[in-house]
Structure 1
Amino acid sequence: MRTMRRLLRAAATLLLAVPAILTAGTAAQAIGPNLLPMTVTNSTGRGDAVYLYVLGVNLSTGRLGYVNSAGTFNNWPAGGLPPTPAPDVSIAGPGNGGSKVIQIPRGLSGRVYFSLGQRINFYLTPDGLVQPAPWAGGDSNRDILFDWSEFTYNDSGLWLNSSQVDMFAVPHAVTVTGATGATKRTGDLVAGGRDAVINGIRNQAGWGGSIYTRGDGTVLRVLAPGKAAEAGGLSSTYLDSYINSAWGAYASKTLTVVPFGDQPNTKYFGRVSGTTMNFTNSAGQQVASFQRPTSADVWGCAGRLAAPNDLVVGPISRTLCAALNRGTLGTIDTQPSTNAADFYKNNPTNQYAKIIHANMVDGKAYAFPFDDVGAFESLVHDGDPRAAGIVLTSFTGGGNPQPTGNRIISNMNNKCVDVPSSNFTDGNQLQMWTCNGTGAQNWTFVGDTIQAGGKCMDVAAGSLANDAKIQIWTCNGTGAQRFTLNAAGDIVNLQSGKCLDIQSFNSADGAKLIQWTCTGSSNQKWRRG
């Protein structure tokens, strides 16, 4: 099992935070090029000059440094106290409508920063790099429009994500292309998504201080709630009432944590005594203990929710933090909850994460440190990458306009085949929904598979029976995922010989999709549009 984590450094030192890869088993054989080409595309619609920075840690030496335009890693020179200006290591980026190829050397974990209009100011201490922190008073980057993506490239492949953990600023998507030529992409906003996020936050009582606008009227960023609270723009106790209620619920019932999707029998059981939640394993042995967290602990998944890099306490902490950010702790007693329809229903709730996810084409974002619990993060990964990309997308339009002809439309009700809540978790049953142009309805026919969000339409358990659910599932080449759209408008599973069917002729949004003996009826007739 491999997963991406953010290594959060002590806030006081403001050292560069980088993702890392947790690996189990033997070391992987090196694949992919030694220098991975990454294309940065400028589709912002803005005329600003763009500056790029490739910064990170050499995984072999542990040294912090930067990568030049040729893809060579260089250690940072020694810094001082007070921090001394770092040398300018910016790479000239592309103008609007253009692209720039940079090189990512294998064995590097870090960030690609991009700024518009001005270079970013970096500083060095004897311990390393001081990263920009525009939420901190006096930070010299406060009036600069910039953002970043995070990556790790090692012998096991590439992990690349767009990050909103600290702030939402420059809309951008990330891509990776593997040895087969297939490209994965995530991070795209819906049309008007940047403004929708900004205005959505502004319209929430108490959240207006999260938005920072430059003197010329440019909205530079929306701060994540933890950073907004640090800057005095959000109440430091905003989430406390929910935390207290959710935590206290387990004084009278048991919380079950199943932290590993591939190990369903590994379970931990939590009960609260006073303000402490104690966890036992299946043998009844106590394995972890957590004090009731504060709002700051939840926003940052830190403090009382700090997650060590182990196989027990860390995974439990990650699960708790995700549940508290999503508002499912206290009401859903087996965690993690992976039904996005259950998220952010509590009051108060994490409006920042809620609004950002709602404005992503595929519903995925990295809106808090452990948003990867349940695979809701905006991450692309390939074990044998050949190319990668960062697309600086439109500040007003949709980042990745969907091509025409990729919807699957019912002849019965003119609604679209849809992945519920844009939740691409394996096993999510497909439904019908009013056509809306989102990635949840963007289907491509690849060979004899039908794919959305990088996964495949699938008959549950490869069933041959009527009423078997039609779901989204990781593509695996089995007969359960082999479909054809014939000239009669039937979508037929080639293994079962049965048709894609709207259950019970239900014409409402949310109607479930199943397979059924082909009858020629209107609830089995489809077209692309």
Structure 2
Amino acid sequence: MFRLSKVLGFGVSAIVAAAGLMFVGPSSSAEAVPATIPLTIKNTSGRSEPVYVYNLGTELASGRQGWADANGTFHPWPTGGNPPTPAPDASIAGPPNGQTKTIRMPKFSGRVYFSIGQKIVFKVSTGGLVQPAVQNPSDPNRGILFNWSEYTLNDGGLWINSTQVDMFSAPYAVGVKAANGTVTSTGRLKPGGYDAVFSRLRSAGWGGLIQSGPDGTPVRALSPGHGIEAGGIPADVMNDYINRVWSKYSTSTLTVTPFVNEPDTKYYGRVSGNVMNFTNAAGAVVTSFQKPDSDSVFGCYKLLDAPNDTVRGPISRTLCAGFNRSTLLTNPNQPDASGTDFYRDAVTNHYSRIIHEQMADGKAYGFAFDDVGAHESLVHDGNPQEAFMTLEPFN
């Protein structure tokens, strides 16, 4: 998961462990991946305002944080201050509506931001780059229309996603071209999907997630974890479902098989008191979880923390997916493999449900570990020739 923290450093381990975004491992195609690849940005938004693009992250060769210019040249952030000081202007002029622009992506782990109409306000503190935090009413970016894609380009290839983990906003799709010319893409909404997300959030009683501009037009919908923080939805919105799960597994067993390629690796969960203890095949307790609150469920953190290890993290990821998709009561064997069974309970992550319903391919990053079962909006190629980002119509 990628929570929009006030100060966030980018790195492969951060994206893998914190975002649940992608596996970055060795590849036989290492020599085939050049130092930079082209990123072609196409603007089909239908909007006349100027577009600004930012490529921010960690230079993998050095571990330094900074930004890349249009040529893919790395620039480290200067030393920041406390309070934070203005960051250098890292913006790249994006393509006008109906046009394309190609820039170069270096071997980075980070984000490609874009904004429409105004530049994003970035600052640098003593701890690193200060990111937008639009759940905060005083954040200077609250009224700016922007979004971002997360990616890693390394010797193993390119992983790039369309993410809604923190918010749903300006629509876009991403893609990658393989050596044989095939383009794989994801993130495209159905026709009318952009408007439908906002209208269906209101119908579900989750309209408090929506932030609007001065003219009343929606600018974004916060993810439910940020919505709790901002007071848009009740802090106990998932409690009824959480309580029912804890009750069920006080008298029955939840079986978690966290690795697709290791079907014999299983863990068994039973609730005793306020704690769900997981045992291995030998009956030894390997990890335990206190009953989570709604924010822990939506954020897949706090009481559902998922360290980058081989036991607790994979179990927590599976639990997080089951809570958000509301499959833990209907299937005692997790993860649930069938997307048709997701979000069926009246108490569920309606934000993620609605976004998935409006995606052309059904895939999204509606919450941190939406990649459990491969339901995430992510594309990868080990020998990428070109990456794509398409700004989509607002309808």
**TM-score, with normalisation over the residues of structure 1?**
0.71
Q: Which secondary structure does the structure 1 equivalent of 2:30 belong to? A: coil
**Does the 8 Å contact 1:31/1:156 carry over to 2?**
no
Shift of 1:137: 2.4
Shift of 1:25: 6.8
**Does the 8 Å contact 1:165/1:369 carry over to 2?**
yes
Shift of 1:23: 5.0
The amino acid of 2:369's aligned partner reads F
Work out the number of aligned pairs and report it. Answer: 387
- Quick check: 1:133 aligned with 2:133? yes
- Quick check: 1:65 aligned with 2:66? yes
**Does the 8 Å contact 1:344/1:350 carry over to 2?**
yes
**1:40 maps to what in 2?**
41
**2:260 maps to what in 1?**
261
Shift of 1:19: 2.0
Distance 1:338 1:66 in 2: 39
**1:76 maps to what in 2?**
77
Shift of 1:136: 1.0
Q: Which runs of 5+ in 1 are unaligned?
A: 1-5, 397-529
**1:283 maps to what in 2?**
282
**2:156 maps to what in 1?**
156
Of the three residues 6, 10, 15, the one matched with 1:19 is 15
Q: Which secondary structure does the structure 2 equivalent of 1:164 belong to? A: coil
Q: Which has the larger radius of gyration?
A: 1
Distance 2:248 2:7 in 1: 36
Q: Which runs of 5+ in 2 are unaligned?
A: 17-21
Deviating above 3 A after TM superposition, structure 1's stretches of 4 or more consecutive aligned residues are 6-9, 20-28
Shift of 1:216: 2.2
Distance 1:376 1:145 in 2: 27
Q: 1:385 to 1:138 in 2, by over 3 A?
A: same
**TM-score, with normalisation over the residues of structure 2?**
0.95
The amino acid of 1:137's aligned partner reads P
Q: 1:7 to 1:63 in 2, by over 3 A?
A: farther
1:423-502 mapped onto 2 (5 Å cutoff):
none
The amino acid of 2:7's aligned partner reads L
Distance 2:25 2:129 in 1: 30
1:149-188 mapped onto 2 (5 Å cutoff):
149-188=149-188
**2:309 maps to what in 1?**
310
Distance 1:191 1:24 in 2: 36
1:362-441 mapped onto 2 (5 Å cutoff):
362-396=361-395
Q: 1:16 to 1:167 in 2, by over 3 A?
A: farther
**Does the 8 Å contact 1:178/1:384 carry over to 2?**
yes
Q: Which secondary structure does the structure 2 equivalent of 1:241 belong to? A: helix
**2:147 maps to what in 1?**
147
Deviations 1:146-175 (A, max 9, x none): 000000111111100001001100111110
Shift of 1:234: 0.7
Shift of 1:16: 4.6
Distance 1:22 1:102 in 2: 25
Deviates further, 70-79 or 54-63: 54-63
Q: 1:7 to 1:173 in 2, by over 3 A?
A: closer
- Quick check: 1:250 aligned with 2:243? no
Shift of 1:247: 2.2
State the identity as a percent: 52
Shift of 1:265: 0.9
Q: Which secondary structure does the structure 1 equivalent of 2:283 belong to? A: coil
Distance 1:114 1:24 in 2: 28
Distance 2:385 2:26 in 1: 24
**Does the 8 Å contact 1:16/1:131 carry over to 2?**
no
Deviations 1:367-413 (A, max 9, x none): 100001000000000111111101111112xxxxxxxxxxxxxxxxx
Deviations 1:78-116 (A, max 9, x none): 10011111111100000001111111112x100000000
Shift of 1:202: 1.2
**Does the 8 Å contact 1:39/1:390 carry over to 2?**
yes
- Quick check: 1:55 aligned with 2:48? no
Q: Greater relative contact order: 1 or 2 (C-alpha under 8 angstroms, separation 6 or more)?
A: 2
**1:444 maps to what in 2?**
none
Distance 1:79 1:257 in 2: 45
